[in-house]
Chain A
């Protein structure tokens, strides 16, 4: 029976079975080294200060996350300014892609949730949020020599090991951005309505006849709801990026090292590619989009007459 006579389904099944059999065979040959207690996967995300700076009691040390932040900022500025300087009437592919992203921030994220003067005022903020987070996420999938505790030898030079890291996979960065968003939308709400009327607008409509105690209770729920946004907005981005990177780490061999079963690596390694494509192709862009869109929705809600 020739191979070409088999249906596609059979071929896939055969390859899959072969893959499993190969992993089992490796498992039988090499066996288990026992659980590895030394390897701490979370330490892949640990920040070692590269250059200790302390100003007024605040630790402003330059570390890997700061490097990624600066890199993301530089890349965002470079790409956007470079493209904007050579905007051609007949765009090439890069320009088309950036124009598409710009259009997304302009008409979808900003235009879809805000209108008129508010949209004009907040567009640079929302667009920068999108592009900054997007570039941060994307460079997080490029292996860079930033793993300072480990080093590799390339042509006699000791350089830090290549690693995947993302600034957005650290809670401080999404949280800082979330704080800016959180303060911004309250300020915009107060500017639109005045202090008292803004907080009054937190109450949903239709409660005019409710007794004051009920109103206070509802108001407290709204206060909690607004406070939770601080966590939800930041943790959504942070957890998605961290989970993605942990998945890549485990599939790319971390799991095999952790459990001391080398054969497991043969099983998980191909899955690392699938997750990589998933992360780069969808999660990185989607999370940037969600963060910017939710910001626009929060600002829109704050300036709206009532919830």
Chain B
């Protein structure tokens, strides 16, 4: 303070005329008062009107940015979860599809095998039935032949002995005769003819 006082007393305000520039470093009390007045007024107005509003706006924006970042992170997390879920579902669906195809293939194979087996069985059955029919027919024919032979035999015998045989004799005779005849060859030729 004393230093300033010295300067002030050494170079009084307005004392410096055109000779030199010492007025440049001589403070003027009036100007200092003006400075204080304008500075304090400026500070008062800025403190009341400008700084709080700027701070508020900056805080608001900082909050907005923080919220936006949080929201973005949240949605990113959600979408990642969704993606993971979707991927899992897709994998599951693919597995299911593969499973279905495999199962279809398997059942098709089974059906084919069954059908083949059934066909074979049917054929066998038909063959057996045919064979049975043939055998029955053969047997019937043989019976008929046998009866024909017996009748012819009886007729021939009557003609030979000129008398009719009673039925008991006839029967016994025929049977005796027939037992001696071998029809197996006939049966074989009959089957070949058919």
Tell me the minimal C-beta distance from B13 to chain A in angstroms: 7
Count A-side interface residues using an 8 Å CB cutoff. 53
Asked whether any CB of chain B lies closer than 8 Å to the CB of A187, the reply is no
Determine whether the beta carbon of B46 is less than 8 Å from that of A77.
Answer: yes
Asked whether any CB of chain A lies closer than 8 Å to the CB of B42, the reply is yes
**Interface-lining segment among A2-10, A12-20, A172-180, A208-216:** A172-180
Within 8 A of A (CB), among B1-48: 1-4, 13-14, 18, 20-21, 23-36, 38-39, 41-43, 45-47
**Interface-lining segment among B57-65, B109-117, B121-129:** B57-65
**Overall SS of chain B's interface:** helix
Please give, as numbers and ranges, the residues of chain A lying within 8 Å of B58 by CB-CB distance. Answer: 87, 99, 102-103
Contact for A84 among B23, B26, B38, B53, CB less than 8 A: B53
Asked whether any CB of chain A lies closer than 8 Å to the CB of B185, the reply is no
Q: With A40-B18, A77-B42, A89-B61 in contact, is A171–B51 under 8 Å at CB?
A: no
Asked whether any CB of chain B lies closer than 8 Å to the CB of A202, the reply is no
Contact for A81 among B32, B41, B49, CB less than 8 A: B49
Most chain B CB inside 10 Å of its own CB: which residue of A89, A167, A172: A172
**Overall SS of chain A's interface:** helix
Please give, as numbers and ranges, the residues of chain B lying within 8 Å of A45 by CB-CB distance. Answer: 21, 24
Determine whether the beta carbon of B39 is less than 8 Å from that of A128.
Answer: yes
Tell me the minimal C-beta distance from B22 to chain A in angstroms: 9
Determine whether the beta carbon of A180 is less than 8 Å from that of B39.
Answer: yes
Asked whether any CB of chain A lies closer than 8 Å to the CB of B50, the reply is yes
Size category, B interface: 35 or more
Please give, as numbers and ranges, the residues of chain A lying within 8 Å of B39 by CB-CB distance. Answer: 73, 128, 132, 176-177, 180
Determine whether the beta carbon of A73 is less than 8 Å from that of B30.
Answer: no
Contact for A128 among B23, B25, B47, CB less than 8 A: B47
Asked whether any CB of chain A lies closer than 8 Å to the CB of B160, the reply is no
Q: With A83-B54, A84-B49, A175-B27 in contact, is A89–B64 under 8 Å at CB?
A: yes
Cα–Cα distance between A123 and B57 once the two chains are bound (Å)? 17
Tell me the minimal C-beta distance from B91 to chain A in angstroms: 44
Q: With A59-B13, A66-B31, A176-B35 in contact, is A125–B25 under 8 Å at CB?
A: no
Determine whether the beta carbon of A58 is less than 8 Å from that of B38.
Answer: no
Determine whether the beta carbon of A84 is less than 8 Å from that of B31.
Answer: no
Determine whether the beta carbon of A176 is less than 8 Å from that of B42.
Answer: no
Tell me the minimal C-beta distance from A176 to chain B in angstroms: 4
Q: With A77-B42, A171-B25, A227-B1 in contact, is A180–B57 under 8 Å at CB?
A: no
Please give, as numbers and ranges, the residues of chain B lying within 8 Å of A76 by CB-CB distance. Answer: 42, 46
Contact for A172 among B1, B27, B38, B61, CB less than 8 A: B27
Cα–Cα distance between A84 and B2 once the two chains are bound (Å)? 42
Asked whether any CB of chain B lies closer than 8 Å to the CB of A159, the reply is no
Cα–Cα distance between A92 and B95 once the two chains are bound (Å)? 57
Within 8 A of B (CB), among A83-109: 83-85, 87, 89, 98-99, 102-103, 106
Determine whether the beta carbon of B42 is less than 8 Å from that of A127.
Answer: no
Tell me the minimal C-beta distance from B134 to chain A in angstroms: 105
Query: Could you list 23 A-B pairs, sorted by A, with CB under 8 Å?
Result: A45-B21, A45-B24, A47-B28, A58-B30, A59-B14, A59-B29, A60-B30, A60-B33, A69-B38, A73-B41, A80-B51, A87-B54, A102-B58, A123-B51, A127-B46, A128-B42, A132-B43, A171-B25, A172-B31, A173-B31, A175-B4, A176-B35, A231-B3
A residues near B, CB below 8 A? 40, 42-43, 45-47, 53, 58-61, 63, 65-66, 69-70, 72-73, 76-77, 80-81, 83-85, 87, 89, 98-99, 102-103, 106, 123-125, 127-128, 131-132, 167, 170-173, 175-177, 179-180, 227, 230-231, 242
